[in-house]
């Protein structure tokens, strides 16, 4: 589900950013695009009854970024409206783990460089072999640096329908690299969450494996905006436990919350230790919050 910022501070910041956006001037040449959008697939052709990956690839100008599904303190998540032939069904958009951008007192969640937003698309069994199918999407975003500029594009892709799908190794590799940055399951981890001293959320994490690698630089990205102070430091403590190290991540609750904090729902990201591979990784968590 695509989400937009609803917290008061985020809304005010976004309104100011959009009000100051540099909109096109018909009397002067257009500036180079801040974001370039294109539609990609992981196959060279599709076959009836199959499922393939379709993705909107956004490439940002250096120094600019677009938002994650929860923008943080200000911004707006990219929006994708698929335009597919009858019978073709697109799944939910998958969001890779985001980065953090500090703009003055604000903490923004999003992507710099480029990002590939992927959906699985099911081809109807009755798709006609021998022709081409036209796929498209209407995409909108907010590109931000010191200011924010709204943008949009309609992207298209034509793929042949054949008896057997033809792979596209180079494109599939790009999709696979993006999937490697999707959050994993939290089943291997023991989770607990509670409210401490009214304004602090405590998230407790334990692997249950005494030989597990240490978690480094934990950070919680909530799916829903306006529930925590995004720019406040998140502090981690660690202590030995019966089945391995127990980590406690303390997160400051929002001063003006957009809703009740009844569940910890979002991404837990670590610079290392959450996955066997080296580098940052994330797990999706959904844990009820209690009071102590």
Q: What is the pLDDT of residues 243-257, one digit of tens each?
A: 788 999 999 999 988
Lowest mean pLDDT segment, chosen from 94-108, 129-143, 160-174, 239-253:
239-253
**For residues 124-142, average pLDDT:** 97
Share of the chain above pLDDT 90, in %: 71
Position 143 pLDDT exceeds 70: yes
CA–CA gap between residue 206 and residue 20 (Å, rounded): 46
- Residue 94: DSSP 8-state: B
pLDDT at 277: 66
The more confidently predicted of residues 13 and 124 is 124
H-helix or E-strand containing 12?
helix 8-19
Reported pTM? 0.86
Q: Cα dist. 33→44, 85, 143, 149 in Å? A: 28, 29, 10, 10
């Amino acid at each position: 589900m695509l989400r937009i910022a609803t917290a008061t501070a985020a809304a005010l910041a976004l309104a100011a950013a959009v009000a100051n956006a540099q909109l096109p001037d018909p009397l002067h040449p257009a500036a180079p695009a801040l974001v370039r959008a294109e539609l990609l697939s992981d196959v060279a052709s599709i076959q009836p009854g199959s499922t393939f990956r379709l993705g909107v690839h956004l490439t940002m100008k250096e120094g600019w970024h677009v938002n994650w599904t929860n923008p943080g303190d200000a911004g707006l998540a990219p929006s994708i409206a698929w335009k597919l032939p009858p019978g073709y069904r697109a799944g939910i958009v998958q969001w890779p783990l985001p980065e953090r951008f500090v703009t003055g007192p604000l903490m923004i969640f999003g992507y710099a460089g480029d990002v590939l937003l992927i959906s699985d698309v099911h081809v109807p069994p009755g798709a006609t072999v021998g022709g081409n199918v036209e796929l498209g999407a209407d995409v909108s975003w907010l590109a931000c640096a010191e200011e924010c500029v709204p943008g949009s594009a309609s992207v298209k892709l034509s793929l042949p329908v054949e008896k057997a799908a033809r792979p596209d190794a180079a494109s599939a590799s790009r999709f696979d690299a993006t999937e490697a940055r999707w959050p994993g399951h939290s089943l291997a981890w023991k989770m607990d969450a509670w409210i401490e001293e009214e304004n602090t959320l405590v998230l407790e994490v334990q692997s249950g494996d005494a030989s597990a690698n240490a978690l480094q630089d934990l950070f919680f990205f909530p799916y829903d905006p306006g529930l925590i102070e995004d720019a406040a430091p998140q502090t981690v403590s660690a202590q030995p436990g019966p089945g391995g190290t127990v980590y406690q991540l303390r997160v400051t609750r929002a001063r003006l919350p957009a809703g009740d904090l009844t569940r910890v729902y979002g991404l837990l990201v670590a610079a290392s230790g959450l996955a066997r591979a080296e580098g940052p990784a994330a797990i999706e968590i959904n844990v009820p919050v209690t009071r102590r």
